Structure 1
């Protein structure tokens, strides 16, 4: 009987450690804008694995913090930091060492190659606040890689529609 209890405690501890590890590595992000339409819609939930640029590939969807950019070309003081991080969901278009895409060239200035420690990200919707406006994004601002879109949950106490 005591052996069974010790085994149960060990299993419970293992499960709790796994949950703790997963919570540090996996986050759920809710899409709030239209920059990734039609691929993602406002309200979509994404399962995101925390990572750095070393695991990211061109074509991946990432969640990252936008760069702080000058308020205008005439004013070199950077805008104030928001009270809370405002994450962006974007598709990776180029990685360090890749050529700067033509759609980003104006924002990238004299750069022709994506510099080390940066990446080029674009929204699937052309009306997106992304590298076309901000140039390369710092790679250290990546929260993680979108693994998949989560299915909508049915609220408790309701049944899904039947056909």
Structure 2
């Protein structure tokens, strides 16, 4: 093997490793629906960075799976290509924050519990924490960084 082909092979290996690492940190999600309109519209593609709950700030646009209702149903929306249903919403309350008044809770809960968050869509017709209650952090995919091919969020 000569020096040029060895260098090319090393360059390809580095590129492959870089792509694999990026795919572990970043995901492209296509918006399906109008719950985040006018911020995001049906068909917009957004770049999402995988994050844990402690890395989320109030006001971040997050992508997460909805928490099933007591019967085990997850609504609304069709599953994506990976078979999962992703919701795109805005984080409005994090663990320890006061529960917003229009979020249904059981009992005398005044603060968002550990491992949960409250999310609202920007569109008033959004299906979110106002109907579903808390969303669980173990269903969090990440935080939207920017719209692809368009303006920032």
Q: For 2:131 and 2:74, how far apart are their aligned partners in 1? A: 18
Structure 1: tracts of 5 or more residues without a match = 71-76, 153-163
What per-residue deviation string (whole Å, max 9, x for no partner) do you get for residues 45-73 of structure 1? 11111121121100000100000012xxx
Change (3 A) 1:80 1:62: closer
Confirm or deny that 1:59 pairs with 2:59.
yes
What per-residue deviation string (whole Å, max 9, x for no partner) do you get for residues 69-90 of structure 1? 12xxxxxx33379872110000
- Find the counterpart in structure 2 of residue 79 from structure 1: 73
1:1-163, aligned counterparts within 5 Å?
Answer: 2-70=2-70, 77-79=71-73, 84-104=83-103, 107-109=104-106, 110-151=108-149
Instruction: For residue 142 of structure 2, give the secondary structure of its aligned residue in structure 1.
Output: strand
Q: Which has the larger radius of gyration?
A: 1
**Aligned structure 1 segments of 4 or more residues deviating by more than 4 angstroms:** 80-83
Instruction: Normalising by structure 1, report the TM-score.
Output: 0.82
Instruction: For residue 8 of structure 1, give the secondary structure of its aligned residue in structure 2.
Output: helix
Instruction: For residue 146 of structure 1, give the secondary structure of its aligned residue in structure 2.
Output: strand
What per-residue deviation string (whole Å, max 9, x for no partner) do you get for residues 105-145 of structure 1? xx123311000000000000111110001111101100111
Instruction: For residue 97 of structure 2, give the secondary structure of its aligned residue in structure 1.
Output: coil
RMSD (Å) for aligned C-alpha atoms: 1.9
Contact 2:25/2:50, CA 8 A, preserved across alignment = yes
Q: For 1:15 and 1:8, how far apart are their aligned partners in 2? A: 11
What per-residue deviation string (whole Å, max 9, x for no partner) do you get for residues 88-108 of structure 1? 00000010001111222xx12
Structure 2: tracts of 5 or more residues without a match = none
